Structure 1
Amino acid sequence: MNATPPVVVTIAGTDSGGAAGVAADLTTFAALGVHGACVVTAVTAQDTLGVRAVHPVPPEVVEAQLDAVLEDLDPVAVKTGMLADPAIVALVARRCRDRLLVVDPVLVATSGAVLAGPAVVAAYREHLLPVATVSTPNPDEDAVLGRDHGTPVLRTGSGAADVLERPGLAPLVLPHRRVDTTNDHGSGCTHSAALAARLALGDDLPAAARHAAAFVGERLERGRTWRLGRGRGSVPHVL
């Protein structure tokens, strides 16, 4: 008899192109053997060329979705993406602080579209980053959020290595292969979703970080010759 898989919930926006956000998270969860639940924070009109429109979900509807997941499925881990509203940032911090919490601070899309204003950034700093199990900022997000949050940070997107910084410990450099491809839309979401899944499966943080980087590298290699859309194509998640 198959064992019941751990539950991981993504709290994020949609991507109508299927490459990032909730779509990337749920397919990554499935590929890694955890059950994915979702809380939708915003609906985006998005393709491989960029973000055309963003429709935030009202905070009370986000809270109702989160209540449904937390009260019934009792997820082991929570992964955040686009949160869209400072009230939602504070809600997630309040309700999810006692679970494995992977914070991917989605502030700017790959296309350059701004997805979070100053109030959201301030809420991340005040409420969410201090209670995260780990956050995964890319260099642009790092520059906006600042560097000292008192909790582990996995700094990504800088060449052929990630750097895991944990309070009181020396930084841990985690080399990974660099894949030459333009089919990388959704790679940040995929990475943080894989990290959350591996933590839910019992990995410690360094092991989960290594597995997440390897998962993304393998997927980028598989999709290197794909021809999806007219812009930056999708990372393949399950093929």
Structure 2
Amino acid sequence: MPHSQDTTPIVLTIAGSDSGGGAGIQADIKAISATGSYACSVITAITSQNTHGVSAIHPVPLEHIESQLDAVFSDLNIVAVKIGMLADADIIQLVARKLRQYTPKFLVIDPVMVATSGDLLLQQSAISTLKQELIPMADLLTPNLPEGAALVGKPVPQSEEEMGALIADLRALGAHSVLLKGGHLEQDANSNDLLIQPHSSELLRAKRHPTVNTHGTGCTLSSAIASYLAQGNRLHKAVYLGKQYISQAIAHADELSVGGGHGPVHHFFNGHVNVR
């Protein structure tokens, strides 16, 4: 039975395009679809990218980003918005202005600054604009350890204790909740994330799956969480479900053979797509 306009959970991803298909808009659409929601998109930048890295970034003109936002918001019942790569301060300011205009119910921000390959994806000058304009609007901010450290001006945590030491600084950024992702603590047997809410914090534990195919993990997790929020789950449950989804997508990543570098996670590990 088809969904009606009122019941289809629609998620908008505002992010950059990854020509290699493993991260960015492409990963977002796969994750939103695989977790049961309908994905629409606004592309902020076109990257020339593969499993080895980013070779070029072309920001989309502001007027076309604005026209994309107007097109989707004027017609689709967008419940949740996920924001990824925004490239520069002007794009961040435009997106913040349009979100204040359209007021979607949920906003998840993945502060994309550094690619898995180490390439810088957000201009340094834009980080302060992100902190001023967008982050205080977020229901959830999902930085990895280098991004979390960059946002608060502290060294990158090297342990779970050091992750905990960032709690007050991350709360002070103004987002309702923060999910500090511990995937970069590669010496640990688990890949644990720290969920920081207004009056509590909790370590979400997951087994670490050894694989080089982790391209797009941050995009995928934040999109899955936005998808689960759009379906009516409370924030804590949406984060828990998103964490389960990305853990399985990583666990099955080596079933795919894509590129010679950091390959993508397996978004459709449930068998929605025949990969053989």
TM-score between both structures, scaled by the size of structure 2: 0.83
Could you tell me which residue of structure 2 aligns to residue 111 of structure 1? 117
| Greater than 3 Å deviation, 4+ residue runs | none
2:211 corresponds to 1:211: no
Q: Is the 8 A contact 2:51 2:259 kept in 1?
A: yes
Letter in 2 for 1:2: P
Deviations 1:55-92 (A, max 9, x none): 11011110110110111113000001100121221222
Among 184, 191, 206, which residue is 1:160 paired with? 191
Q: Verify: 1:150 aligned to 2:174, yes or no.
A: yes
1:61 matched to 2:90? The reply is no
Match of 2:260 in 1: 230
Residue 164 of structure 2 aligns with which residue? Answer: none
What CA deviation, in whole Å up to 9, does each residue of 1:118-165 have, x standing for no partner? 221011110100110111000110111112212211111345211111
Picking from 71, 84, 90, the partner of 2:93 is 90
Output one character per residue of 1:152-204: Cα deviation in whole Å (capped at 9) or x when no partner.
Answer: 1111134521111122x121221122111111101110000001000001111
- More moved, 82-91 vs 53-62: 82-91
Per the alignment, in what secondary structure is the counterpart of residue 72 of structure 2?
Answer: helix
**Alignment partner for residue 142 of structure 2, among 136, 140, 147?**
136
Aligned mate of 2:39, from 33, 36, 39: 36
Q: Does the 8 Å CA contact 2:113/2:147 hold for their aligned counterparts?
A: yes
180, 187, 191: which is aligned to 2:221?
191
In 2, distance between residues paired with 1:71 and 1:238? 31
Contact 2:182 2:194 in 1 (8 A): no
Q: Distance in 2 between the 1:60 and 1:157 partners? A: 37
Structure 1 partner of 2:25 = 22
TM-score, length-scaled by structure 1? 0.95
Equivalent residues, number: 238
CA distance in structure 2 between the partners assigned to 1:34 and 1:170 by the alignment:
29
The amino acid of 2:108's aligned partner reads: V
Contact 1:78 1:96 in 2 (8 A): no
Structure 1: gaps of 5 or more residues: none
> Conserved in 1, the CA contact under 8 Å of 2:213 and 2:253?
yes
Does the 8 Å CA contact 2:255/2:266 hold for their aligned counterparts? no
Matched AA of 1:150: G
Deviation at 1:117, TM superposition (A): 1.3
